[in-house]
Amino acid sequence: MSVPPTTAVEPPMSSMQAGVIVDYPASLDCIHCGLCLDDCPTYRLTGVEPQSPRGRIHLMRAVAEGRLDPEPGYVEAIDTCLVCRHCESVCPAGIHMGQMIEVARDGLNRVDPPRWTVRMARRIGLRGLLPSRARLSLVAGATRMLQRAGLTGVVAKMLGPLGAGLRDLPNVPPARERQRLPDFTPADGPGFGLVALHEGCVMPQLHGRVHRASVRVLAAAGDAVLGFSDATCCGALQAHNGDLESAREQARRTIAAFERKTADDGTTPVLISNSAGCGAHMKEYDRLLADDPEWAERAKTFVTRVQDFAEHLAEPGPRERLAQRLGRTDLGAVTYDDPCHLCHGQGVREQPRHLMSDVPGLDVVTLERPESCCGAAGLHALLRPDESRTVLAEKLRDLAASGASVLVTANPGCHLQYESGLQRTGSDVQVLHLAELLDRALDGAPT
């Protein structure tokens, strides 16, 4: 793919085109220094410029300036980005790659829609399933039945592209583990704060145990906990897959549902997310809805109330109260892997480590590259399983070298990615969410 060089006087781009095709103003931030290259997983894998942050930005800019059509090479460069945002952490110019990729994918969906099977799969998944807890619950129940009957492979084959990823789904837990959280859980001891736990879409179906552990830990830290299942999906997966219209709709639903959580006395809870991807996305609702006159101010207020689970618990009051409740566990060597959307997306790095250091006697070992992507990347593991597994392989090597018998994460996508990778390789390393680790240490509970 050859791109004509940038001329001294570039053709101006109308704001309408910029909004449709790429985020042109953001693409101008790159100073081409190349400091991002070594930390980009797709560049590390391929070694080719269009698979790097700098290359992707160069292509976006060329498309915006009319020097390049959105041809297959461009589509591939935009599609293969993991949106891990590692480049954002190392870029001296402060690029916003997550935002740029979302806009570029949304633009491609408008000017060069994918084939109908992909469009239909996305429509069913992103617009039909994720926003509906009832439908997700039905699908989870049906998947559990198929898994127990050993029929997932047969059905995946029958569904063709629509069944992609069915084989790799983890075992769906029984219905009792997929229940909604209680509307209200009082603090376990003297009460100090009020939080709402964002339940999300996929987590209640696959990781209900993480939610329940989160409630117990928050309550032990002195918080009363409201269940927050009203809005289901935050819209992160829709945005990452270039469906910004649905992402905005989910953002409005989430904000409206959260506003209803304000108590009669005017007390507004802190909205806790134990999913790094959802938390990072909800913290950016103000950007997503900036051009919506009815919602822009409400979004700005909303983002001030969102906190990651570890971010909240590591604040002085909750941390001190929780630390008094933590006892010894018998987990062996434990390591923490930073979810991309927690470290690069939210700048939350030390807080989970501080909380782990409060567990008496916990043997914490470090990973070689804890901030590099595991390859889960939203739907990437389902849509591009081979590439995803290649990215994961490097992480699994680092994990083996660390000697850890438990890997701690804080994002459901990474959790599933590690679990399936470890299962494939026959490893007995256990994967826990940070909330599960802390829950096991509560009152020195036996493991």
Helix 296-303 to helix 244-259 angle (10° resolution) is: 70
Of the two residues 95 and 410, which places its CB atom closer to ligand SF4 in the complex? 95
Of the two residues 51 and 335, which places its CB atom closer to ligand SF4 in the complex? 51
Nearest Cα to Cα of residue 206 among 302, 141, 286: 141
Q: Are 250 and 288 in contact (CB under 8 A)?
A: no
Of the two residues 27 and 274, which places its CB atom closer to ligand SF4 in the complex? 27
Binding flag, residue 176, ligand SF4 (CB under 6 A):
no
- C-alpha angle with apex 329: 326 to 333, nearest 5 degrees? 120
Binding flag, residue 36, ligand SF4 (CB under 6 A):
yes
Residue 443 CA to residue 161 CA, distance in Å, equals: 48
**Shortest Å, Cβ 297 to ligand SF4:** 30
Would you say the C-alpha torsion 398, 403, 405, 410 has a positive or negative sign?
negative
Of the two residues 56 and 433, which places its CB atom closer to ligand SF4 in the complex? 56
Binding flag, residue 30, ligand SF4 (CB under 6 A):
yes
Residue-wise DSSP of 343-373: HHHH---HHHHHHHHTSTT-EEE--SSTTS-
Region near ligand SF4 per CB under 6 A, out of 39-47, 194-202, 272-280, 289-297: 39-47
Residue 338 CA to residue 348 CA, distance in Å, equals: 9
Of the two residues 325 and 344, which places its CB atom closer to ligand SF4 in the complex? 344
Q: Are 167 and 201 in contact (CB under 8 A)?
A: no
Binding flag, residue 96, ligand SF4 (CB under 6 A):
no
Binding flag, residue 41, ligand SF4 (CB under 6 A):
yes
Of the two residues 375 and 421, which places its CB atom closer to ligand SF4 in the complex? 375
**In this structure, how many other beta carbons lie within 10 angstroms of the beta carbon of residue 32?**
8
Range list of β-strands (E), 135-277: 184-185, 193-198, 223-228, 270-273
Of the two residues 102 and 358, which places its CB atom closer to ligand SF4 in the complex? 102
Binding flag, residue 415, ligand SF4 (CB under 6 A):
no
Q: Burial code of 256-269, b = ≥16 C-beta within 10 A, e = fewer? A: ebbeebeeeeeebb
Binding flag, residue 379, ligand SF4 (CB under 6 A):
no
Binding flag, residue 239, ligand SF4 (CB under 6 A):
no
Contacting ligand SF4 (CB under 6 A), which of 62, 82, 206, 280? 82
Residue 159 CA to residue 443 CA, distance in Å, equals: 48
**Shortest Å, Cβ 62 to ligand SF4:** 14
Of the two residues 91 and 348, which places its CB atom closer to ligand SF4 in the complex? 91
Number of chain positions touching ligand SF4 (CB under 6 A): 25
**Shortest Å, Cβ 388 to ligand SF4:** 12
Residue-wise DSSP of 34-58: -TTGGG-HHHHHH--GGGSHHHHHH
Contacting ligand SF4 (CB under 6 A), which of 18, 26, 64, 83? 83
Region near ligand SF4 per CB under 6 A, out of 91-99, 168-176, 186-194, 210-218: 91-99
Nearest Cα to Cα of residue 425 among 401, 389, 386, 387: 389
The interface with ligand SF4 within residues 97-136 (CB under 6 A) comprises 97
Binding flag, residue 87, ligand SF4 (CB under 6 A):
yes
Contacting ligand SF4 (CB under 6 A), which of 10, 25, 31, 38? 31
Of the two residues 64 and 331, which places its CB atom closer to ligand SF4 in the complex? 64
Region near ligand SF4 per CB under 6 A, out of 32-40, 156-164, 300-308, 396-404: 32-40
DSSP-derived letter for residue 308 is E
Binding flag, residue 40, ligand SF4 (CB under 6 A):
yes
Binding flag, residue 299, ligand SF4 (CB under 6 A):
no
**Shortest Å, Cβ 321 to ligand SF4:** 37
DSSP-derived letter for residue 442 is B
Of the two residues 374 and 441, which places its CB atom closer to ligand SF4 in the complex? 374
Q: Are 371 and 89 in contact (CB under 8 A)?
A: yes
**Shortest Å, Cβ 104 to ligand SF4:** 11
Residue 367 CA to residue 74 CA, distance in Å, equals: 34
CA distances from 390 to 66, 109, 330, 337, 355 (A): 35, 27, 32, 17, 31
Encoded one letter per residue, x for contact with ligand SF4 by CB under 6 A and - for no contact, window 42-71 reads: x----------xx-xx--------------
CA distances from 326 to 218, 357, 360 (A): 13, 11, 7
Binding flag, residue 236, ligand SF4 (CB under 6 A):
no
**In this structure, how many other beta carbons lie within 10 angstroms of the beta carbon of residue 286?**
18
Contacting ligand SF4 (CB under 6 A), which of 4, 6, 25, 93? 93
Binding flag, residue 35, ligand SF4 (CB under 6 A):
yes
- The binding site for ligand SF4 (CB under 6 A) comprises 30-36, 40-42, 53-54, 56-57, 81-87, 91, 93, 95, 97
